[in-house]
Structure 1
Amino acid sequence: MPELPDPARPAPAAARRFRRVLVTGGAGFIGSRFVTALLDGSLPGFGEPEVVVLDALTYAGNLANLDEVGDSPRLRVVTGDICDGAAVAGAMAGADLVVHFAAESHVDRSIEDAGAFVRTNVLGTHTLLREALEVGPERFVHVSTDEVYGSIEEGSWPEDQPLSPNSPYAASKAASDMLALAFHRTHGLPVCVTRCSNNYGPYQYPEKVVPLFTGSLLDGGTVPLYGDGGNRRDWLHVDDHCRGIALVALGGRPGEVYNIGGGTELSNTELTERLLELCGADWSAVRRVPDRKGHDRRYSVDFAKISAELGYAPRVGVDEGLAETVRWYRENRAWWEPLMKGR
């Protein structure tokens, strides 16, 4: 994993050293990148903490995502469900930092069956917050999404924008955000909430657009483009996202929300165009499909707050990041091919 550079303006609490970090969903896409960065020293300011991963290892959780640091004596992996109070209590014991990634996250799946999203994202988050009151960590970082704001035609959502989620997934994440902030206001739990834009990078499960399109195109297949292809998203490389979360863990103010963005907006058509070129394919590989139900037209977050307070700025440009990501999938077929076939 490339080293993530120090911010231009270090966080006020950059001297803090966490002894034990619990990472929920740490075998998933973003969580595993955060764990890897904690253990390989590429997140400045953390020292050498013990890292406990709590992951249910459902379809999107994969221990192979942690292969780069799997032999670390500072890593302990606990297989367990965040809705299971006993599993949560065992994993959180002694933790002075909790970083909560674990979630059901695929919008299409939430449209088909919202129940799993309510259970994991709402009830699971409540289980973690309840246990955190007993353990008393120095910081609890709840990782959320820009989708809780809903669609915006122009401009960018600030953190104090009222939430207006449109998919069952986004609604379940909005509920978990409100629970986390309520535990701060009611109980004084030192919670920070982060809301990121669309992530991409290596080890992303191939139901998401970048790995799905990349794998299909590398295999000479076709890819589905929703509607007119005009839906727009801000794209954030996973390593930039992890660095933003680290800054919030070290120096964010409890009770605050921090948007984390990538700074590059693309329509689905523009993203498809780039992936076609990188994979050596053309538009004959694209098939138009009916638009997703309730498909938000555009997301955009204003991340001036985290930049001003904590010195965050995205480091990985989207062209460089997409090229590196496609290269990784090209060179790591053994990781993604079984997952594509399993879908």
Structure 2
Amino acid sequence: MSKRVLISGASVAGPALAYGLHRQGYDVTVVERAPSLRGSGYAVDFRGDAFTVLDGMGILGEVRGHDTHMRGTDLVDAEGNKTGELPSEAFAGDLEIPKKDLTRILHRITAEQVRYLFGDSITELEQTDDEVRVRFEHHEPAGFDLVVGADGVYSTVRRLAFGPHSRFVGHLGMSGAGFTTTNFLGLDHRVVLQSTPGRALLLFSANESDRMTVSLSFATPSAEVDLLDRAQQQELVHAAFAEAGWAVPRLLKEMTDAPDFLFSSACQVEMDRWSQGRIVLVGDAGYCAAPTSGMGTSQALIGADTLATCLAESNGDHTTAFTAYEQRLRPYVTANQKHGREAAAMFGA
């Protein structure tokens, strides 16, 4: 009988791990709170060993086909006048694609072999010597040999198995709102950055020439703003950018009704251990390095691949595998988190 694994989260780390575990003969289920694949999110980029992971999954060529082909970043002043320029690598890494394309690809290569439970979430975890009993919001309770939290900074699995978010989530002093709107500035594979101490506006248009992605970042004292409702979050954005001119007033107006509005804070997740018995964390759930690190997607892919490899090498002995997983990955995570903190500190300079 194949081992049963439940993975919480269907963004990047979850499906990537599901792919690796299915190839080893595991019976994999992925539960995702969203009712379907998420079609929003910023572009994501890849660096270093992430390319080896994508190649091993047989999707590197397809991923490259969605390259945003960004040509650089224009620095502008308060009136929108260009004052400087940065190379494309400053934000796009070695390869950049829209996040929705990556999640679609990862789902496609696993959908026929992995059971996906959309529109549901874990409510209770109970470990025994032989399994983890799981209760869901909607599906019937079930037992699994392993449970994996790949469900982001505010991981349900981590909260249930390790403790409250406040113990592990550290705020780096900034939050941001994101959405898309019409490309009224006529951007063509370019990024525009307007930055002052404690506040930044970033705009870009890539593969959808008629659309422009907007990011409005500003200093915040606590990540608790993530828990506010949309209206309250938008009030904070309006307050932070109230005195800004140029395109900002129009962007603030269009933000109000944007169907893909997102709000999140720059946070890091730091833990002494990423596993507890038969439960383990991967990606942002266990070791988020913050968006300022530029390594979130690469770290998720490499983390998932490392965990799958360690389980294979241990012949399914999860205790041995989880120990090896942490020993191999932690130096890489530590370096990424250091870079994330340094970049966030520059934001407030």
Q: TM-score, normalised by structure 2?
A: 0.29
